[in-house]
Chains A and B, each alone.
Chain A
């Protein structure tokens, strides 16, 4: 009964773009709403401020999107984020290491933790929700033990702090935004313009079929875990540079926000569906709602409730979308 081919043979009906377009419209509508509600919402200052706040979450959310598309989760990103920061802090404070070297080692540690996650999930084949829930607690414990539960502050000045979090390009563009854009471009290229990206989608969409097509799905998933931990590491360094302080409890709840941003952007929790652009806009929407509510003078406690509402709406729309697509 599938005999009704639309005649425009090479119509550019790119499915992925169509979906992202919907999220973009939502982001714009929300912006319009807040612009009407608050005169300061649509200003360059607020816009850059919004993007700066988005940077840390956005970097992690985009990597998490890749991981979710491949069919796994990582609930330990928040803990990896803490370990990277705390380790860097300890190396500088207690061992007197150069900040650049310490940050590099902190970043490497993040990669190692990602490798641990990936290996654990692929060897034991346990559900990544449970697997990374346990590593989340272990990693958080490591951060606690290393820091003895105390925050660590940096008093010295170094180019490092400027490069990762404090500089403002052309006088008003925070450097975090450059990191965010660079990470976005790299992730976009990797997921949507390389063979690896197609392998990620295929692995998450139908793992058995992917195996039978010759894709080494275990390796694909492991790589996605490492990319996610790299994002957590980078994000942690940006935070460290901006705040000049780290705490062992930082980043708790970050994993769920990252997943939420992906979901708002159209990522399917069952794998195989999602996009970097969607997640980028998804992160932006979350920041938009938060900032907008602050500017409107809303009670801080109400904000989370609103963000929850946005997530629920996004998921409902996504589910509708996949039903109308006619998948059995």
Chain B
């Protein structure tokens, strides 16, 4: 069968860095092709070359048998190759129909946009592509993230796309929404014969959705697996170039140890109710649950974000009541937020300030600020957490995701906290950095720090935690420990 798009020996340099070296892919029509690799493996560079955003240095592409050399993104789009980005550009106040048809040529009657036509056509398109009935006049801002994604998918398809590139489409979606999106994608493959390239770093999703997976590492092809050959172990071996080597924590008993943090029926009216647990010195305590189970809200409310509606948090015997951020910090609690970009980094400040900021916040206003002092702190932390930093005066954005995340941890380690509250500590970092962060967490616990982790990745929690509380619809279902701490139990209590 003739391939839809074949990419042959593509190379691309940025300065003296090889982003891609002789990469080849073959994309058959009616297939979903997974593209896997760590951050920086060259996935996005490849995608940008295919969709015409940047040219390649050497190599060639063939699209439907003919040489393919797009000048720019709209050129590629007119030929039927479209990208579907991680961050969705959307006009929230306009209707679904308007968002679907927005573009250089809007269907119109003389000078007036033809809303009737657009609405009807929108309904037809939804029926055809997704087999769904919708009201196209609803403002798209009122729809869920998944519905917005689908609208954009319809938008792309309405322009006769033959090959759609899905670049991390699930980051903003909850589990049921992901399922819905995947169903639609599979339907489009089967019924409309549309080809997909699916870029993701989530192994489960890659394995569920793709027919084949190409793996990139350091800008080179390192593997090509068919559906029958998929396994998490093999994929992660190809991606990382090594298997993940996180030591499972030896199950120690902590019942004897001193209780450092106790949550006493903490409630937040919108998300969770009556949650109680206590954590011991040196213990790693996990909070598991699906998206929307209250997992993330429980853990952030331990840091006073937002202050609790009811209940209290007791730290080392002191009842802090409805805890606030400043009370928590004074009591020796550190907090890593779940979204580094919006709640963590200071993009316009240098690395030294980004790492020193928590210590600076604790100092009095008129304390003189000496950058050298914080550069020393950066050096110490870089050594301790193996953060790769070339110059502490560079912007933090020059660091890779994993190193940024370690820098976020380093902020708090500077205060030597007795309790660390970590919300999604490994989100958005590659496999290599994940195991390093897991190691840091385990070492911290070993040194006597109390650690509480909330994570959407259950496998990770299983590896890292001594006990795990499972959340389900805003309630604590159970606290699993020792023998009961199994994968099956975790999924059972989270989902049923």
Contacts and interface: CB of A to CB of B under 8 A. Distances in A.
Q: Which of A197, A208, A209, A210 has the most CB of B within 10 A?
A: A209
A2 interface: yes
B343 A208 contact: yes
B345 A209 contact: yes
A213 B411 contact: yes
A211 B353 CA distance: 15
Interface in B223-265: none
A194 B365 contact: yes
Contacts of B456: none
A195 interface: yes
B349 interface: yes
B366 interface: yes
Nearest to A326: B397
Top 8 A-B residue pairs of the complex, sorted by shortest distance between their CB atoms: A5-B390, A196-B365, A214-B361, A272-B348, A1-B40, A215-B361, A205-B346, A195-B363
Contacts of B361: 195, 199, 202, 210, 213-215
Contacts of A125: none
Given A9-B390, A195-B360, A208-B343, A15 B350 contact: yes
A21 to B, nearest CB: 15
B365 A214 contact: no
B79 interface: no
Interface of A: 1-6, 9-15, 192-199, 201-202, 205-206, 208-216, 223, 268, 272-273, 325-328
A88 to B, nearest CB: 29
A205 B391 contact: no
B370 to A, nearest CB: 8
Contacts of B357: 198, 202, 210, 213, 215
Contacts of B411: 213
Contact of A212 (B343, B365, B393, B398): B343
Contacts of B364: 195
Contacts of B368: 193-195
A282 B331 CA distance: 45
A268 B348 CA distance: 10
B15 A327 contact: no
Nearest to B329: A214
Contacts of A327: 347-348, 397
A209 to B, nearest CB: 5
Interface in B394-427: 394-395, 397-400, 411
Given A9-B391, A212-B337, A4 B353 contact: no
Contact of A206 (B19, B345, B356, B388): B345
Contact of A194 (B17, B325, B345, B369): B369
Interface string B316-347: 00000000011001000001010000111111
A327 B329 CA distance: 31
B345 A13 contact: no
20 contacts: A1-B14, A1-B42, A2-B398, A5-B390, A9-B391, A10-B391, A192-B369, A195-B360, A195-B369, A198-B360, A201-B346, A202-B357, A205-B349, A210-B361, A212-B325, A213-B361, A214-B358, A214-B361, A216-B326, A327-B347
Contacts of A201: 346, 348-349, 353
B305 interface: yes
A223 to B, nearest CB: 8
B367 interface: yes
A253 B356 CA distance: 39
A240 to B, nearest CB: 30
Contacts of A5: 388, 390-391
A10 B14 CA distance: 24
Contacts of A196: 365-366
Contacts of A11: 391
B82 to A, nearest CB: 21
Q: Which of B19, B303, B397 has the most CB of A within 10 A?
A: B397
B391 A6 contact: yes
A213 B337 CA distance: 10
Nearest to B305: A212
B362 interface: yes
Given A4-B17, A193-B369, A214-B325, A15 B393 contact: yes
Nearest to B370: A193
A5 B368 CA distance: 30
B16 interface: yes
A194 B353 CA distance: 12
Contacts of B400: 1-2
A295 B19 CA distance: 57
A243 B68 CA distance: 74
A68 to B, nearest CB: 13
Contacts of B367: 194-195
Contacts of B303: 212
Contacts of A2: 40, 398-400
A202 B346 contact: yes
A208 B364 CA distance: 20
Given A195-B364, A195-B366, 14 more contacts: A15-B395, A202-B360, A202-B361, A206-B343, A208-B342, A210-B361, A211-B325, A212-B325, A215-B361, A216-B326, A272-B347, A273-B348, A327-B348, A327-B397
Nearest to B356: A198
A314 B411 CA distance: 35
Contacts of B397: 326-328
Contacts of A272: 346-349
